[in-house]
Amino acid sequence: METPTRRPSEVVNSRQDNRRPSIYSTMDAMPHLEFYANATATGRIRRCRPSLETLRKAVDVGHMGSVSALQESEIESEENGPGGKTAQPVRFGWITGVMIRCMLNIWGVILFLRLSWITSQAGILLTWLIILMSVLVTSITALSVSAISTNGRVSSGGAYFMISRTLGPELGGPIGVVFSFANALACALNTVGFAETVRDLLIEYDSQIVDSINDVRIIGSITVTVLLLISLAGMEWESKTQILFFLVLMVSFVNYFVGTLIPATPQKQSIGVFGYHSEIFLENLFPDWRGADGDFFRMFAIFFPSAIGILAGANISGDLKVTMILIRDEPEIAIPRGTLMAIFWTTVSYLAISSTVGACVLRDASGSMNDSLPLNFSEPCEGLSCGLGWNFTECQQSGTCAFGLSNNFQVLIQVSGFGPLIYAGIFAATLSSALAFLVSAPKVFQCLCKDNIYPFIGFFAKGYGKNNEPLRAYLLCYIIAMCFILIAELNVIAPLISNFFLCSYALINFSCFHASITNSPGWRPSFRYFSPWTGLFGAVISVVLMFLLTWWAALIAFGLIIFLFGYVVYKKPEVNWGSSVQASTYNMALSYSVSLAGVEDHVKNYRPQCLVLTGPPTLRPALVDFVGSFTKNVSLMICGDILMSVSQRNSNDMIKWLNQRKVRSFYTSFKASDLREGARHLLQASGLGKLKPNILVMGFKLNWHESSSKGIEDYINTIYDAFDSNHGVCVLRMMDGLDIRDELETEGMLCSSVFNQAFEVDEAIESDDQISDTDSDVDNTKNKANDQIKTVFQSKQGKKTIDVYWISDDGGLTLLVPYLLTRRKRWRRSKVRVFIIGEQQTMENDRKEMMTLLQRFRLDVHDVIVVTDSERPPLAKNMRRFEETLAPFRLNEGQLDERTVQQQRTEFTWKVTDKEMDALRPKSEKKVRLNEIIRRNSKYAALVLVSLPVAQADCPSSLYMSWLDTLSYGIHCPVLLIRGNQQNVMTFYCQ
């Protein structure tokens, strides 16, 4: 038995709650996995990440437990109902839940009752081709299923859940109906196979009930009723039954292969079984088509249902083990491992059985002992049997042979060492597959009904018991299976099933292909062994095979899908699953902006849409290049140009420059009296519909201490305005020594802002002479595109590191930006290191928790480093530098009377009072100390990302500016101060 495991809520609740506030503020939270979870255990109060509004409040608290400081909500577990705590459902690991279940589904009725017959018709070579073609389709589909199932937590609903959450309800709804129906048909197919075997046994013992056809109907009806009762008993009993069937099958396989080695008796030889003979193998190597079914694609259509069981594990994905510690048992791990292993072993068994039976058994035999030949025979004899001592010429010529590969479906029983064990194997294979499909169909249909996409089917969504068993859906599946059992013809039902399952596989592969080509940041499957083009190939070949096998059944399947698709498109159900259809709508936003406006936001489809305050983009190439590195082909980038003392710039020239630099960005300008007003209007007015900025990107004001108070106020208030409007903020700082000059140097067009390698927006933009030069010379730059000097963000970064100091949990933007950077060729070899703040005694636990969170986000992080000395006081010389930098902005109250002090406080709001300096000294010291840590650990980094502190509303602008300066001071590589809007931009859930 497998070791029982706990649900995620139990694991979370059992661990010590060691969440701590950020060193920036007691209101600010350090990164934690629970902030990204959908729900926790019933009755447990979950602490949510503080909002920007909360962080901006003037009141600070001294502990994380304050209800006023943090938004708290009591969230019931998804698995429990409103009535409170319920019993835990039964869960299965990847072996019993996926591999064994898939193998039993694949080893169905075709294996024992039709594989030998197919070998006689197609020959061993073409039978292998049929098997390998089927395995090709199912293997490609398994890779697609593995990719989809590892792109987040998979819930119940199996293939329908994965397709609908990937492609959306438009195609997910139709495939849910088709796939549920196909599973019900597969249950009928295997039940009919079982009934055929029992009927043949009854005929052998002269105990026929009515006649050949009606006996199959009677036995099949009784069998499916018994299977229904087993299913209604619950998943635990069903799983135990499947394990028993698996053991019986293993014994029957051993029995068969042992039988091929036992020398054939005269009785066996009379029915065509001779043991291994090279002559028989060569005779059966090539096809011998007979009857109405004698063609390649008909054989393929009959065989293909024997390979359709690959989704058995995915169909009960909600019943697989889920735990936050034993990752190996999660559905996103269990489904790929178990499915691929099942395909491998079943393929080996099919190839082995078709080869051995073709090497041991003749195509035709009479079964009469009188057809044996004496040593010196003179009667006419034709065929291979003559050389083996038997004369089957008469029955071959008259077509009356009752035995042999071509005439008897129970050849495996005759070859085996002990026939009853093969009967047991047939019963196990047929009943296990029928039972698995009888369980899968209701589970999938229940998930479809719960989504409420189609009317009048919500009745079947209700579940019963601790496992939420869909009893009503079981009865519906039972009725459908019963209707097709009454057909009582295996060769008629099999092609129908092949078409419906091929249709399902086509959509699964297409969903994987579609999700890949949309280039969404939310598509991050941890399963890497797939390609969008294999998915497309799998989809195309599945559709082609559908029409080659049974064209009229293919038309019916496609007609049903088109009808159901049209209904969903017409009704537009209110569901939001973060599908790849939504992601592709984003990519086509220019031509489909109207349809995009109606798409709801979803965390999986989050994209960093940046408004970059570049001024003229030609003067900020490094800033433009950096943002373009993580937004190109992914998200929106707008270069914002605030015009304060010049006329409208020629936007076409700016766009040409961006195109020449291969930066995918829009350019927009706005005339305003100051920076703050212009930035505020650009944040509100830029973009269209969903294509609106959610991040403000600025350059650092390098010479801020030499700027006017108005300039500092505008700069800092622009950041405050971005926070207050729920935008993320990024501030890029480039230190002295980094050459960001471009081709404008050759035209004598450089200004002081470029020499300073930083963004000083107010000083740079107010130069009318410079703007005039730019307007007159920008057309000349197109002839010098090849002479541009590369900036730091245009060259390959090599094996340097990208160091992320995730000090405060901002929703994941601090991690998402370096992930997007490493997807670019020039950053691909760079390794990402994540630094977090911790304590010495909990260092190892903090590191493991962070590694778990990063693994769940499917982020390739080289290392996680816990900084344990952040509480040490900073060096005196560094603190002294901070105070000297801030000294010109201090309001020296000691030499002034109270009235003058109050007057200056009102007049010079940007200055720091002694009281504010003393109150905020601990925070200032932490900023200085953090800068020391960064300079110590990131000497050779290519880029450093640091969480941007959020200042409270009454924080003086000069003090906040000095914090930003202190955090990024003395670092000899680009530094990005970054802060999200406190809402999740990444998730580890599939939905």
Name residue 640's beta-bridge partners: 613, 668
Residue 310's pLDDT band (boundaries 50, 70, 90)?
A: confident
Q: Where are the beta strands (DSSP E) in 722-796?
A: 728-733
pLDDT(305) > 70 = yes
Residue 87's pLDDT band (boundaries 50, 70, 90)?
A: very low
Backbone angles phi, psi at 945, to 5 degrees: -115, 130
Residue 750 has what pLDDT?
Answer: 41
pTM (two decimals): 0.68
Q: Report which listed range, 320-334, 496-510, 639-653, is most confident.
A: 496-510
Instruction: Kindly tell me the burial class for residue 381, based on how many C-beta atoms sit within 10 Å of its own C-beta (0-12, 13-18, 19 or more).
Output: middle
Q: What is the pLDDT of residues 688-720, one digit of tens each?
A: 888 889 999 999 888 888 888 888 889 999 999
| Rounded Cα distance, 248 and 95, in Å | 17
Higher pLDDT, 833 or 372: 833
Proportion of the chain above pLDDT 90, given as a percent: 20
743's enclosing H/E stretch is none
| Rounded Cα distance, 161 and 428, in Å | 29
Q: What is the pLDDT of residues 419-444, one digit of tens each?
A: 888 888 888 888 878 887 888 888 88
pLDDT(170) > 90 = no
| Rounded Cα distance, 716 and 952, in Å | 12
**Domain spans, the chain:** 94-365+403-493, 613-787, 801-971
Q: What is the pLDDT of residues 230-276, one digit of tens each?
A: 888 765 666 677 778 888 889 999 999 999 998 888 888 888 888 89
CA dihedral 943, 949, 955, 956 (to 10 degrees): 0
| Rounded Cα distance, 483 and 864, in Å | 59
Residue 585's pLDDT band (boundaries 50, 70, 90)?
A: low
Q: What is the pLDDT of residues 717-730, one digit of tens each?
A: 999 999 999 999 99
Q: Which of 172, 239, 208 is nearest to 504 (CA)?
A: 172
Residue 488's pLDDT band (boundaries 50, 70, 90)?
A: confident
Average pLDDT over residues 160-175: 78
What Å distances lie between residue 357 and 102, 128, 360, CA to CA?
24, 13, 5
Q: In the predicted model, what is the mean pLDDT of the chain?
A: 79
Say which residue the tokens 């579940």 belong to: 463
Antiparallel, parallel or unpaired: β 831-837 and 801-805: parallel
The residues, ordered by sequence, that sit 6+ positions from 507 with a Cβ below 8 Å of its Cβ are 163, 167, 171, 175, 539
CATH numeric code, 94-365+403-493: 1.20.1740.10
CB 618 within 8 A of CB 654: yes
| Rounded Cα distance, 484 and 186, in Å | 10
Say which residue the tokens 């649900």 belong to: 7
Three-state secondary structure readout of 393-461? HHHHHHCCCCECCCCCCCHHHHHCCCHHHHHHHHHHHHHHHHHHHHHHHHHHHHHHHHCCCCCCCHHHH
Average pLDDT over residues 822-827: 87
pLDDT(780) > 70 = no
pLDDT(144) > 80 = yes
Average pLDDT over residues 144-165: 74
The residues, ordered by sequence, that sit 6+ positions from 439 with a Cβ below 8 Å of its Cβ are 231, 235, 238, 315, 316
Residue 592's pLDDT band (boundaries 50, 70, 90)?
A: low
pLDDT(948) > 80 = yes
Positive or negative torsion for Cα 660, 664, 666, 672: negative
Q: What is the pLDDT of residues 35-80, one digit of tens each?
A: 777 654 444 555 677 888 777 775 554 444 443 344 444 334 444 4
Question: What is the identity of the amino acid at 685?
Answer: A
Residue 475 has what pLDDT?
Answer: 93
Average pLDDT over residues 494-518: 85
pLDDT(172) > 70 = yes
Name residue 417's beta-bridge partners: none
